[in-house]
Structure 1
Amino acid sequence: MKPVDREILRLAVPAFLALVAEPLFLLSDAAIVGHLGTPELAGLGVAAVVLQTVVGLCVFLAYGTTASVARHLGAGDLRAALAQGVDGVWLAVLIGSIATVAGILLTPTLVGAFDTGAEVADHAETYLALAFLGTTPLLVMLATTGVLRGLQDTRTPLLVAVVGNGLNIVLNVVLVYGLDLGIAGSAIGSVVAQVLSAAWLVAVVVRAAREHDAPLTPDVAGIRSAAHAAVALVVRTLALRACLLVGTYAVTRAGTQGSDVTIATHQIAITLWSFLAFALDAIAIAAQALTGRALGSGDVDSTRRLTRRMVQWGWGSGIVAGLALAAVSPFIGALFTTDPEVRSLLVPVLLVAALGQPLAGVVFVLDGVLIGAGDGTYLAWAGLVVLAAYAPAALWAATLPHGLVAVWVAMTFVFMGARGLLLTRRARGEKWMVTGATLAR
């Protein structure tokens, strides 16, 4: 095996396992709540979209921190790397506190925007109001994971993810069925698991900071700098999350005008798609860390070689993911629901999603490369272009026969296709390859 492949696998394999474990929080919730009934599952679907949007907007806490810490590591300044990472953790606490209060107060409004039936809305509000209590721990987990990835450590986040997810499943079963708390028990169990996982990761980062004499107290200038650097990534993420929200909104207008069956089917499909996205993102995590380190050390040639090789890995992993999804599409619905209509409708949706997995593998890799390079401004503009292309396509698809499947065709080929075109074009140039310990702005 080539040295570059060993380096990629050293980071990507633990990252893959950790990223697969992360969406299992929602997969396990969906499996447990789905057996309460279709309205409960549909309610979880609405709440999950809101939560994933809020947390997803803050993914820069992981991505930006990984890139900046890796650059300092490549430049040989470990103390500065940890100091920048600690600033990111404090930023996570600040943003998480604001998001928690705002989210709880706005829960009825957020759920009402989806215009579902009263029963589905009631379940969604119950879950969401409780789940918002886990916002700060989730954001702290993002920031601390980013620090460790930047330090080329993907094994610790894996261990925390596995233990945290196992605890989440146990708590969900006990609270939902053992104590008969229903969908509220699922939210409570997830929050408790998130708090304990965040505490574990913080302890690891604090220990490393103390070993290298990095400051642990809040540094206003450092936090402000981290927030400023994150603006472009926030715009990029906001645009991509808006695409997923538009898709969910289109689904509520598809077929039988927002029936529980249509929404529940979409929830299972988007959960599985997110599961595979996290799995394929493992190479992208390696790309962020390795690209940041290579550019931090000034090694442009190595950066180019790494990019070419990681794109090949992206294609291969996407093909494997697509074949696997197609193979299980007739059977996997039984894990989430007993409703025969949902299970039947799920099959064609998953087959469409399977076709797009090879492209998704390349898209995620190139996204990781450019994030690792600090090319946030381009990614922000690219995200806005993708949104402009996908939104009308999804809304139009919802008006067609078999609207849910049509929306997924638009998501697979317009949303992911536009991203692939724009990212490939950028990666072939050289403007993103800026060297040195400081990220390009």
Structure 2
Amino acid sequence: MTKGSSSVVSLALPALVVLAAEPLYLLVDTAVVGNLGTVPLGGLAVGGGLLAWAAALLNFLAYGTTARAARRAGAGDRDGAVAEGVQATWLAVGLGLAVLLLFQLLAGPLTRLLAGGPGPVAEAGEQWLRVAGLGAPLLLISLAGNGWLRGVQELRRPVRYVVAGSLLSLVLCPLLVHPAGLGLVGSAVANVVGQALTAALFVRALVREGADWRPRPAAVRTQLVIGRDLLLRAAVLQVSFLVAAGVAARTGTAALGAHQIALQLFFFLALVLDAYAIAAQTLVGHALGGQRPAEAQATAARVALWGLGTGVLVAAALLALRDVLVPLFTDDPAVVAQAVVVWWFLAGMQPLAGVVFALDGVLMGAGDVGYLRTVTIGSAVGGFLPLSLLAGPLGWGLAGVWTGLCLFIGLRLVGVLARVAGDRWLTAPVTVTG
């Protein structure tokens, strides 16, 4: 293994643990709740989808902070990199409280909208979301903490923090859902308690750096401006996934349950593959901060190859283990039948996704988020959304929804390959806060 490949792997492996921890917990959560019945599973799909939507919409707190902190660290300014983390944390608190308030006020209408109208699934989703939404500020604080620590190439501490919170949730979830008799609410409580521990550890890390904790409104506003492209990109992504979930819900409860299982696996695998994106962000940011563009280009080539190879292996594993994995989440024959339909789509997209996610990280590290925004929106509007919306009236069901998702990945792949093949991304500006 070359030195460059070793750098990619040494950063990607701890990032993999951090990225996989939360979706792995959600997979276990889905399995625990799935044994309560189809309605609680559908409620988790609705409520969990809304919370995941908020987190993904605001994940610029991690990715944007990584790019800025890496540039400062690459230029030898560690204090400046830590300052990015402080202001990102204040921004996370403000945005998290806004999300919390939104879910408390609108949990009912939002879950009914996503579930296709009032009913037991919508009621279950509302019940879960009102409790789990209390952890929104904690979740966003953790995103900000991950961002600045990745930027200074310290990925082992986030591993400890995230694993500690996830393990606590993993222990509490089955205990609260079943022996304690809390049912679906027990899942939400376990989620919040784990997030509280992780957020506390990230805040302690900043305190130990001796950082200046004064909030700087101008710096926070700058971070909001910098994050607008990532925010818009994430918004289109999440609207697309919500539309797809809404189509699945209208197809039937079994289809919604199967969609929830496959989508949680998709998100889990996306974050696993995204480990290369985190490594790319950090390495490209450091290289460009130190005025080494050739090193940034070499990193892009390496992470693309690692993403492709890993995607092929993941696809093969999914196909080989289908009959083992599906029964872990449900024993309902109708849900199993629907899950088999989407499994081929889920496996087939993995090699393409591996390259897409890796090169997304390259462009984020370079600060070329405006281009990423345009490509993502174009791929969603031109591929994902139309097929998802047509799947209902044309009777395509889940196959139509997941065909749209595959087209979405394919269009993004064409866009990022074309960009990285040139050199304009090497000069994209990254503004850092003062």
**Under a length normalisation based on structure 1, what TM-score does the superposition of the two structures give?**
0.95
Give, in whole Å, the separation in 1 of the partners of 2:386 and 2:91: 35
SS in structure 2 opposite 1:225?
helix
- 2:174 equivalent in structure 1: 173
Decide whether the 8 Å contact of 1:295 with 1:436 is kept in 2. Answer: no
Distance 2:59 2:330 in 1: 30
> After superposition, where does 1:400-419 map in structure 2 within 5 Å?
400=394, 403-412=397-406, 414-419=407-412
CA contact (8 A) 1:329 1:346 kept: no
For residues 25-424 of structure 1, the aligned pairs below 5 Å read 25-114=25-114, 115-116=116-117, 118-208=119-209, 210=210, 214-253=211-250, 258-389=251-382, 390-400=384-394, 403-412=397-406, 414-424=407-417
Amino acid aligned to 1:409:
T
How many Å separate the matches in 1 of 2:305 and 2:223?
32
Aligned residue-pair number: 431
User: What amino acid does structure 2 have at the position aligned with 1:162?
Assistant: V
Q: Distance in 2 between matches of 1:139 and 1:105?
A: 20
Displacement after TM superposition at 1:438 (Å):
4.2
Instruction: Give the distance between the partners of 2:244 and 2:417, measured in 1 at CA.
Output: 24
Aligned residue type for 2:262 = A
For each residue in 1:223-245, what CA deviation from the matched residue of structure 2 results, as whole angstroms up to 9, or x when unmatched? 11111111111011111212212
Check the 8 A contact 2:259/2:398 in 1, yes or no. yes
Question: What is the SS of the residue equivalent to 2:213?
Answer: coil
Task: Report Cα offsets for 1:278-334 as digits up to 9, x if no partner.
Answer: 100000010111111111111000000110111101100111111111111122121
| Alignment gaps of 5+ in structure 2 | none
**TM value normalised by structure 2:** 0.96
Deviations 1:210-268, CA, capped at 9 Å, x for gaps: 1xxx3122111111111111111101111121221222122234xxxx31111001000
**Secondary structure of the structure 2 residue equivalent to 1:178:** coil
Preserved contact between residue 397 and residue 410 of structure 1 (Cα < 8 Å): no
Corresponding letter in the other structure for 2:51: L
Question: 1:439 Cα shift?
Answer: 5.9
Q: Offset of 1:399 from its aligned partner?
A: 4.1
- Aligned partners of 1:12 and 1:268: how far apart in 2? 26
Secondary structure in structure 2 of the residue aligned to 1:113: helix
Structure 1 residue 35, shift from structure 2 partner: 0.6
* Cα root mean square deviation, aligned: 1.6
Equivalent position amino acid for 1:131 in 2: A
What is the distance in 1 between the residues matched to 2:318 and 2:22? 18
Q: Secondary structure at the match of 1:76?
A: coil
Q: Is 1:3 aligned to 2:3, yes or no?
A: yes
**What is the Cα deviation at residue 27 of structure 1?**
1.1
Distance 1:169 1:365 in 2: 29
Distance (Å, rounded) in 2 between the aligned partners of 1:436 and 1:56: 24
The unaligned stretches of length 5 or more in structure 1 are none
* Cα distance in 1, alignment partners of residues 187 and 425 from structure 2: 43
- Higher mean displacement: 395-404 or 276-285: 395-404
Moved more, 346-355 or 272-281: 346-355
Distance 2:204 2:174 in 1: 28
In the aligned structure 1, how far is the partner of 2:314 from the partner of 2:217?
A: 43
Is the counterpart of residue 23 in structure 1 residue 17 in structure 2? no
Q: Deviations over 1:356-393 (max 9, x none)?
A: 10000001011111111111211122222112112112
Find the residue that maps to 1:369 and give its secondary structure.
helix
Contact 2:233 2:377 in 1 (8 A): yes
Aligned equivalents of 2:7, 2:392: Cα separation in 1? 44
Whole-Å separation in 1 of the counterparts to 2:314 and 2:44: 25
Give the whole-Å Cα distance in 2 for the aligned partners of 1:259 and 1:79: 54
Measured in 1, the distance between the counterparts of 2:338 and 2:296 equals 44
Q: Which amino acid counterpart does residue 146 of structure 1 have in structure 2?
A: G
Distance in 1, matches of 2:430 and 2:403, equals 42
Return the alpha-carbon distance in structure 2 between the equivalents of residues 233 and 410 of structure 1.
Answer: 22
Distance 1:161 1:154 in 2: 11
Structure 1 range deviating more: 159-168 or 288-297: 159-168
Letter matched to residue 267 of structure 1: Q
Report the identity percentage.
40
